Amino acid sequence: MASTIQVPTTPNAPGGAPESLALSRAGGDLLVLTHVYTATAVLGLGALFGLLQALSRANLIVLPAGFDYYRMLTAHGVLMALVFTTFFITGLFTFAVYRAIPRVRSLRLGWIGYVVMLVGTTMAAVAILDGSASVLYTFYAPLKASPLFYFGATILVLGTWTVGADIFLNVAWYKRERPNERIPLPAFMATCTMIMWVIATLGVVAEMALLIPWSLGWTSGIDVGLTRMFFWYFGHPLVYFWIMGAYTIWYTVVPTTYKGTVFSDGLTRLVFLMLLLLSTPVGLHHQYLDPGVAAGWKWLHAMTTYCVVIPSFMTAFAIFASFELGARNAGVRGFFNVVRWLPWKNPVFAGPALGMILFIFGGFGGIVNNSYSMDVLVHNTMWIVGHFHITVGGPVALTFVAASYGLIPALTGRKLFAPRLALVQVYTWFVGMSIMSIAMHWAGLLGSPRRTADVTYFGAQGAATWHTASLWAAVGGTILAASVLMFIVVATGTYFANQPAESKPQFDFAPARAGDDAVATPAVLDRLGRWGLIAIALALLAYAGPVIQQIEAHAYLAPGMRTW
């Protein structure tokens, strides 16, 4: 990092209006833009693989033997769940921290992080595409991939840690320079999320410490139960990593589209701290049926999973309160008038708002999955796939795509290409995702299995019951793929059309509500280091017992297999 510190003057806009700070490419714009366009390219490729899967499961096409269903499923899952989201979130948080903490800084660490992430992604992608790593995005043992895949995944994680280190160093600088001031809210959200991410990805590191020697032939077998436990130590917090990225936009970017404010600085920080503390000790609810894990630990994780609902409800309250206050300031009263007043023709608002609607259904589905008796019925069915898509593809991906319509013009200084197409795109995404995910849920209730290429079962009558739902899922997937194509046209068109904006577009973060009725944020909420230590302690309390049980139990070391 640069040792010379010079803080540019940040204009304090009157009346609580968003602060503006022009960022040059040397100030990080190119770095963030590279993250966003990498995520865009990955989204397009992942969507293509997703469309082919949907058409294949509906028996509308037959995939070639040289690029089978499971290879495509692995590519789709890894690209969408691990790569697209990670590149966008790390780019967004880099932007948030650089903007909220203006200073002269070195970009070296940020670029190193990006390059390391790209190298890891490329290694894993090569392994998947050449057919040596069709282990799905969960990479469950005893399915055995080539070492290239495991090394690639590890390097991708190490790259995110490097980006996190860049964020942490900038926030630490801010606290040294202004010890009596609160961390700016966007930087706080980014830092809190990256602390959670580092704690969660320790599970990946632990799992890879077993998988890599095994894949190299240095060990005779693998403890399947232990690797599954390490994966879900990471796997469920991964969802909150996505959600916290989307929440950052909901809380601080969406209000700027209607000249609103963050409802409460303190409540927002409390929500993020609750997610930091509660995200990790929940993963065993994915292993209700796994042997070797005591029922008491599963019950504990089920209870902590229910607790994660609380910050989601707090977020719903804060977002709707921000809508209401913004409308009242504009002289609008009444529920339906407020709904009509909101800027539904602005894609930067409409995308996240439609994502919030999808998240309501995703949240209720999550409660079903966390309920032992109901989870037993749906766990290995298409219900889970539908839940995953309506939760990740709805509130998260749609929010990121819509935010790009504000972020890319702000980074390039260019007009948004085809803004009407951008608006059509977010609504098309909502329709396609609704049709596809509802159809997947319905197919799951009828018993359609997931992770299965051919679900016709040689024409069995029972299998025919979910064929109609599979066709509807293909219809929704086709609409979604068209929507992704529209997004790529707008995102890349903005760059290549090269139409300078009359005034530099801004991608602002809204200030928190001020005034006599706004409560000051307690200083204790700002002590992220201490909250991080508490989060580590909770993770240890939740997992030390199950891991010790797993290690002490007699384990059959599986030699590994390839079913493809």
pLDDT tens-digit readout, 298-357: 999 999 999 999 999 999 999 999 999 999 999 999 999 999 999 999 999 999 999 999
More confident residue, 71 or 291: 71
pLDDT at residue 25, rounded to an integer: 54
Q: How far apart are the first and last CA of the chain?
A: 47
**One-letter amino acid of 361:** F
pLDDT at residue 18, rounded to an integer: 41
Q: Which of 25, 103, 379, 451 is catalytic?
A: 451
Q: What share of the chain is helix, strand, coil (3-state, %, to 5)?
A: 70, 0, 25
Q: Which of 57, 71, 228, 236 is catalytic?
A: 236
How far is residue 352's CA from residue 355's CA, in Å, rounded to a whole number?
Answer: 5
More confident residue, 62 or 536: 536
Cβ within 8 Å of residue 230, ≥6 positions away: 203, 204, 206, 207, 210
pLDDT digits (tens, 9 = 90+) for 106-116: 999 999 999 99
Q: Does 57 qualify as catalytic in the annotation?
A: no
Residue 446 confidence (pLDDT) above 90:
yes
Is residue 308 within 8 A of residue 279, CB to CB? The reply is yes
Q: Does 450 qualify as catalytic in the annotation?
A: yes
Query: Above pLDDT 90, what percent of the chain?
Result: 78
pLDDT at residue 468, rounded to an integer: 95
pLDDT at residue 289, rounded to an integer: 86
Q: Report the pLDDT averaged over residues 139-168.
A: 96
CA 297 to chain CA centroid, Å, is: 27
Is residue 149 within 8 A of residue 127, CB to CB? The reply is yes
Q: Which of 269, 389, 414, 513 is catalytic?
A: 389
pLDDT band with cut points at 50, 70 and 90 for residue 461 = confident
Query: Above pLDDT 70, what percent of the chain?
Result: 95
Residue 232 confidence (pLDDT) above 90:
yes
Q: Which of 98, 258, 359, 388 is catalytic?
A: 388
Residue 98 confidence (pLDDT) above 90:
yes
pLDDT digits (tens, 9 = 90+) for 348-384: 999 999 999 999 998 888 888 888 888 888 989 999 9
Cβ within 8 Å of residue 402, ≥6 positions away: 347, 348, 349, 350, 351, 352, 355, 426
Q: Which of 450, 507, 509, 513 is catalytic?
A: 450
How far is residue 280's CA from residue 542's CA, in Å, rounded to a whole number?
Answer: 8
Q: Which of 149, 174, 240, 507 is catalytic?
A: 240
Q: Does 530 qualify as catalytic in the annotation?
A: no
How far is residue 413's CA from residue 289's CA, in Å, rounded to a whole number?
Answer: 53
Listing DSSP states for 219-241 in one string gives SS-EEHHHHHHHHHHHHHHHHHH
Q: Does 301 qualify as catalytic in the annotation?
A: no
Residue 23 confidence (pLDDT) above 60:
no
How many other CB atoms sit within 10 Å of the CB of residue 149? 27
Q: Which of 387, 414, 441, 513 is catalytic?
A: 387
Alpha helices in 253-346 (DSSP H): 265-278, 295-307, 309-329, 335-341
| DSSP 8-state code for residue 135 | S
Q: Does 285 qualify as catalytic in the annotation?
A: no
